[in-house]
């Protein structure tokens, strides 16, 4: 037993999909793709080298098309992710640039492709937005498929795995993940990736445990090793002891029972024991996630991120394309609210990743509402699509990264202009819809009383609000521990925002990660937040937590809490007062 204990290893990563599984590891070996040699190609052979590259692309496209056509029914809605990869095969920044490097530098196709990818990927990886950062993975997955055809590598066929195993790989592309057979694959672990990746989204759809971004999983885990994957905590235990196995199995059974109970009761309203009701909504970025949201009892969509429709193309989407996408979501949601956030990226990077005019600090640069106001033609296209879709349901517009009243006023002018042009053209639309402001910049929170005079609602984005207020990058491991939702400064900004909204008769919502942590529910209710929005899988747990709370006399608790000076002191008070009825769940803890 002593020898066995010495072999137990705990690896830490990012929880991509909650749940616990125990089983044998199955290593997916794709290491050969990384070994690329450079050699000079004689001019007379350059056209043949370009032809070799084009043939590799063609084969990769055909292979992916076959996977799309054979996608299981439960993942059919995710075919759009794979269609995105089909587009990338012909993307001018990847395809044309590789051919250009072959011809100009007279190098082999493998080296040219590797060079182009090395230029493209950092532009996404250096972005602060988690969603955009993960788009670097899409480029990698597509390039890997091409590279395998160039070097003669065999692509892993996950559909042919005939054992009950846990997959361990450097990375799994959405195409590979979509081939997972639920009766055979218990879960998976990867070196790369994060919660915002499409692979992670598919794992959550399949509801199988996944831990991503482990870094060295393929080096530390061998074929047939017994491993434990905890997708909630973001941990992998390799060669667990008998004691660890018994404890984990008990925890897994408790989790499954708890999960079944939560989901079974998820249709019930989120109402405290003393009758205070709050809406619990879902955050989505793909239309396909609507099904999961409804299955988990979501009262509506509190945040519909629209960036994917721009990033999945080689040019800007048309008004009709956007309209159809929004309408599909609205039709499924029926009478429930659908909050559509306007474009929250720098459009140049969405269309043309390889420009030399990169901003030195994109997080504080021309993005979100700033970009939309600078590019009114792009903004008008989206606004017209939203107003047209609004005629079919309960739609709200949410304006991101607002820092002052001028931006709100200019945005309202743009919305009015979009409505006027639709009116003149005789196109069906709805202008009388709520337009809200995201409170994620400290200046917006401090001037919430001014913004409340114009906005129809506030939606607090705690991820950026915490990051900007405390001047920390939560993706930086050296300072990530400072990302404290219970910091007195954050609580004061939230309180000020809620107070200003209440004084002006408008509601305050929250769509940041803080909303997804059940233990924070009493504080958010006490501060005056009217609606919470989160990852769909977290909805049942948060709704259950709210039903466990009695907010009678919470004003006294809030007064005591607001007098405290450190996050730890506030955490202790919260645990003392509500810890027995509202547990932490750890799903969002790993992201802090």
Q: Identify the CATH number of the domain in which residue 252 sits.
A: 3.50.30.10
H helices present in 126-269, as ranges: 130-151, 174-177, 198-206, 217-220, 242-264
- Cβ neighbours of 392 (radius 10 Å): 16
Q: Where in the sequence numbering do the catalytic residues fall?
A: 198, 511
DSSP string across 91-148: -IIIIIHHHHHHHHHTB-HHHHHHHHHHHHHHHHHT-S-HHHHHHHHHHHHHHHHHHH
**Chain segment 259-308, per-residue pLDDT in tens:** 787 778 888 999 999 999 999 999 987 787 898 899 899 999 999 998 87
**Residues lower than pLDDT 70 in the chain:** 1-6, 29-37, 67-93, 121, 123-138, 151-162, 173-183, 194-199, 201-202, 205, 311-314, 346-362, 474-477, 480, 583-592
Is 567 inside any structural domain?
yes
H helices present in 174-318, as ranges: 174-177, 198-206, 217-220, 242-264, 290-295, 308-311
Look at residue 176 in the predicted model and tell me its pLDDT. 59
| Domain match, 25 and 67 both | no
Give the pairing of strands 210-212 and 508-510: unpaired
- Cβ neighbours of 416 (radius 10 Å): 12
Helices 109-125 and 46-69: angle between axes, nearest 10 degrees? 60
Look at residue 532 in the predicted model and tell me its pLDDT. 98
Look at residue 18 in the predicted model and tell me its pLDDT. 84
Q: Into how many domains does the chain fold? A: 3
Q: Of 228, 258, 288, which residue sits at a domain end?
A: 258
- Strand-pairing partners, residue 341, are 398
| Domain match, 213 and 271 both | no
| Domain match, 427 and 560 both | yes
CB 26 within 8 A of CB 165: yes
**Chain segment 388-424, per-residue pLDDT in tens:** 999 999 999 999 999 999 999 999 999 999 999 999 9
| Domain match, 555 and 432 both | yes
| Domain match, 174 and 236 both | yes
Q: Does an H or E element contain 509, and which?
A: strand 508-510
| Domain match, 272 and 124 both | no
- Reference 491, options 456, 458, 518, 526; nearest CA is 526
Give the pairing of strands 165-169 and 531-534: unpaired
Q: Of 86, 116, 151, which residue sits at a domain end?
A: 151
- Cβ neighbours of 503 (radius 10 Å): 11
Instruction: Please name the residue that has the structure tokens 């509801």.
Output: 207
Look at residue 289 in the predicted model and tell me its pLDDT. 82
Is 101 inside any structural domain?
yes
- Reference 238, options 29, 19, 31, 23; nearest CA is 23
Q: Is 164 flagged in the annotation as binding?
A: no
Is 243 inside any structural domain?
yes
Instruction: Identify the domain containing residue 126 by its residue range.
Output: 43-151
Q: Is 440 flagged in the annotation as binding?
A: yes
Q: Is 341 flagged in the annotation as binding?
A: yes
DSSP 3-state assignment of 226?
strand
Look at residue 347 in the predicted model and tell me its pLDDT. 42
- Reference 578, options 558, 546, 554, 549; nearest CA is 549
| Domain match, 318 and 247 both | no
DSSP 3-state assignment of 189?
strand
Look at residue 570 in the predicted model and tell me its pLDDT. 94
Look at residue 314 in the predicted model and tell me its pLDDT. 62
Q: Is 3 flagged in the annotation as binding?
A: no
Look at residue 197 in the predicted model and tell me its pLDDT. 62
Q: Cα(201)–Cα(342) distance, rounded to whole angstroms?
A: 22
| Domain match, 110 and 216 both | no
Q: Is 252 flagged in the annotation as binding?
A: no
| Domain match, 450 and 564 both | yes
CATH number at residue 85: 1.10.274.10
DSSP 3-state assignment of 411?
helix
Look at residue 263 in the predicted model and tell me its pLDDT. 78
Instruction: Kindly state the tokens that stand for 499.
Output: 């107070």
Q: Mean of the per-residue pLDDT values for the chain?
A: 82
Look at residue 333 in the predicted model and tell me its pLDDT. 96
Q: Is 324 flagged in the annotation as binding?
A: no
| Domain match, 295 and 387 both | yes
């Amino acid at each position: 037993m002593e020898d066995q204990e010495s072999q137990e290893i705990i690896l830490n990563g990012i929880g991509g999909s909650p749940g616990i599984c125990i089983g044998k590891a199955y290593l997916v070996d794709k290491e050969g793709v990384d070994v690329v040699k450079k050699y000079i190609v004689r001019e007379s052979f350059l056209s043949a080298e370009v032809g070799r590259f084009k043939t590799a692309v063609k084969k990769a496209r055909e292979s992916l098309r076959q996977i799309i056509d054979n996608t299981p029914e439960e993942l059919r809605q995710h075919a759009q992710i794979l269609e995105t990869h089909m587009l990338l095969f012909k993307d001018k920044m990847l395809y044309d640039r590789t051919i250009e490097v072959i011809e100009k530098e007279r190098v082999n196709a493998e080296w040219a492709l590797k060079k182009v990818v090395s230029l493209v990927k950092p532009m996404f990886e250096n972005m602060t937005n988690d969603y955009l950062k993960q788009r670097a993975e899409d480029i990698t997955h597509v390039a890997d498929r091409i590279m395998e055809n160039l070097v003669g590598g065999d692509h892993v066929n996950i559909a042919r795995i005939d054992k009950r195993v846990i997959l361990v790989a450097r990375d799994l592309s959405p195409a590979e993940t979509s081939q997972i057979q639920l009766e055979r694959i218990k879960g998976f672990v990867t070196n790369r990736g994060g919660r915002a990746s499409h692979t992670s989204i598919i794992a959550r759809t399949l509801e199988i445990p996944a831990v991503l971004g482990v870094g060295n999983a393929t080096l530390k885990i061998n074929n047939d090793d017994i491993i434990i994957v905890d997708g909630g905590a973001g941990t992998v235990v390799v060669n667990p002891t008998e004691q660890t196995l018994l404890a984990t199995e008990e925890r897994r059974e408790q989790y499954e029972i708890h999960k079944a109970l939560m989901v079974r009761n998820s249709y019930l309203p989120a109402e405290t024991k003393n009758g205070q009701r709050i809406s619990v909504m879902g955050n989505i970025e793909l239309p396909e996630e609507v099904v999961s949201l409804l299955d988990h009892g979501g009262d509506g969509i509190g945040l519909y991120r629209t960036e994917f429709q721009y990033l999945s193309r080689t040019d800007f989407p048309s008004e009709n394309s956007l309209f159809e996408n929004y309408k599909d979501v609205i039709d499924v949601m029926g009478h429930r609210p659908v909050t559509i956030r306007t474009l929250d990226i720098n459009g140049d990077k969405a269309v043309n990743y390889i420009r030399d005019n990169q901003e030195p600090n994109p997080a504080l640069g021309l993005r979100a509402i700033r970009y939309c106001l600078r590019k009114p033609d792009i903004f008008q296209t989206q606004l017209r699509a939203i107003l047209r879709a609004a005629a079919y349901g309960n739609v709200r517009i949410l304006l991101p990264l607002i820092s002052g009243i001028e931006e709100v006023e200019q945005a309202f002018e743009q919305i009015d202009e979009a409505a006027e042009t639709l009116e003149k053209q005789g196109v069906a639309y709805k202008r009388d819809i709520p337009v809200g402001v995201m409170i994620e910049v400290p200046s917006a929170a401090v001037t919430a009383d001014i913004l409340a005079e114009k906005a129809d609602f506030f939606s607090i984005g705690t991820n950026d609000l915490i990051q900007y207020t405390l001047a920390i990058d939560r993706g930086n491991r050296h300072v990530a521990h400072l990302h404290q939702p219970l910091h007195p400064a954050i609580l004061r900004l939230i309180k000020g925002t809620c107070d200003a909204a209440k004084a002006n008769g408008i509601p305050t919502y929250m769509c940041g990660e803080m909303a997804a942590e059940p233990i924070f529910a009493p504080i958010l209710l006490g501060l005056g937040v009217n609606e919470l929005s989160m990852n769909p899988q977290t909805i049942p747990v948060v709704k259950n937590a709210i039903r466990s709370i009695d907010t009678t006399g919470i004003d006294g608790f809030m007064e005591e809490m607001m007098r405290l000076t450190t996050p730890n002191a506030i955490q202790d008070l919260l645990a003392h007062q509500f810890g027995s009825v509202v547990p932490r769940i750890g799903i969002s803890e790993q992201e802090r």
